[in-house]
Amino acid sequence: MNPNNETAMTRRAFLGSSAKLSAALAIAGPISFIGCEQGNTVFDTLIKNGTIFDGTASKPYLADIGIKGDKIISIGKLDGSSTQVIDATGLTVTPGFIDIHTHCDLTFQRTGIKRYLAYVMPSFKGNHNYMYQGVSTVVTGNCGYGYTDTAFWLDLVDTMTFGSNVLHLAPHGMIRKELFGDNQPTELSTKQLDAMKTRVAEEMEKGAVGFSTGLEYAPGLQASTRELIEINKVVSQYGGLHTTHIRDLTGKIMANGGFGIVQALQEAVEIGKRAEISTQISHLTLKAPYNGVSSGQLFDVIEQAQLDGMDILADQFPYTAGATLLSARLPAEFKSDAGIKDQYKTKEGRLLVKKAIEERFLFSGPEQILIAMYPENESFEGRTLNEIAQEKGK
């Protein structure tokens, strides 16, 4: 392990360098001035009359784009010949988008695909659902889930001729699961913590660009703040960043009177500051119970950290619903890595679990929860809990 602090990059620098990789048509080589004619040039592809947003925050402009191979060689009013001409009149032309929070790796991991196989659908291999929306770079390994072997995943991507560029995060939860199995410790011993740090360092050496945590999910929810600080110190030495699905996204009132989501944000800030690592808060959104928590209270935590010199931002999805594990509906105090903690498997314990779920349903009822994937009974897929319960007379 030979990390170099001098090469550490901020989150913004990371995204900036990623953009160079991710542009659907990477700008490289000589670029002609806007308006310069290239009458004698033969292009492989000529995009005509598109409205160009070039990614520099400058105003959009109407121009043609000339491409040879996989490089843009000219932008302007172009009259050269071309093997392929695309009429972009009335359309927008942009660099490829970077989706910093995806789980497209789980499609392959959960189906057990070990190598390039002929029966894998071309749309999966090509990552078409992202490509068709202009996303040319995806970040995988989010929320502590994903491939624990970065080199294996990136090799699989190359073998499949995956449609998107891929940047991978070392997933905390899955590495913890790999090391400690079903009997997950809460407070790691020195030996256990060293094992985690070594494994994460190995993934950084293999090409991971950072480290992700999913602290609402087992086994990530078992991790102490100290554990996460120490591991992130290792990641920081490699110039990596920390992305986190924080410990609580609800307005639940905690024992000390604070709000769950605010305290979870404060924990993320503490980890970032003490580990000296760039931090990205994943899909920042408030879930029920709300208890009057405002967006301003959340932004105050982030903005104060920025004023203190920390490199931290948050992202958000533009939907009124999200995708998660059904177990995420259960409060953390009931959960273990294997499901429900043993003490709640008694008759009395089940009543407590049932009460907790009923309280959650007061804010988001069973008619709002749709099963997307359930291999044990595929007839449940695409249906709400309410529909399934009615069918079974529950």
Residues sharing a CB contact under 8 Å with residue 143, sequence separation 6 or more, in sequence order = 103, 171, 173, 212, 213, 214, 217, 245, 282
In the chain, domain spans: 25-93, 97-323, 327-391
Q: Provide the phi-psi class of 232: left if phi over 0, else alpha when psi is between -120 and 50, else beta.
A: alpha
Q: What are phi and psi of 72, to 5 degrees?
A: -80, 125
Tell me the two tokens of residue 92: 């927008």
Question: What pLDDT does residue 14 have?
Answer: 41
Question: What pLDDT does residue 114 have?
Answer: 65
Residues sharing a CB contact under 8 Å with residue 72, sequence separation 6 or more, in sequence order = 25, 26, 27, 28, 29, 31, 65, 66
Question: What pLDDT does residue 149 have?
Answer: 97
Cα dihedral 226, 231, 237, 240 sign: negative
In the numeric block, the tokens 């990641």 are attached to 235
In the numeric block, the tokens 């784009």 are attached to 65
In single-letter form, the type of residue at position 343 comes to Q
Write down the CATH number for the domain with range 25-93: 2.30.40.10
Determine the longest span between alpha carbons in the chain, in angstroms. Answer: 83
pLDDT in tens, the chain (394 residues): 444 444 444 444 444 444 333 333 333 333 343 444 455 789 999 999 999 999 899 999 999 999 999 899 999 999 888 889 999 999 999 999 999 999 999 988 877 776 656 667 888 889 999 999 999 999 999 999 999 999 999 999 998 889 999 999 999 999 999 999 988 898 999 999 999 999 999 999 999 999 999 999 999 999 999 999 999 999 999 999 999 999 999 999 999 999 999 999 999 999 999 999 999 999 999 988 899 999 999 999 999 999 999 999 999 988 888 888 777 777 777 776 656 777 777 888 888 888 887 887 777 788 988 998 888 899 999 999 999 999 988 8
In the numeric block, the tokens 């292009």 are attached to 43
Distance CA 313, CA 310 (A): 9
Write down the CATH number for the domain with range 97-323: 3.20.20.140
Task: Report the DSSP beta bridge partners of residue 250.
Answer: 287
Question: What pLDDT does residue 352 have?
Answer: 86
Question: What pLDDT does residue 70 have?
Answer: 86
Question: What pLDDT does residue 110 have?
Answer: 78
Question: What pLDDT does residue 125 have?
Answer: 85
In the numeric block, the tokens 């209270």 are attached to 297
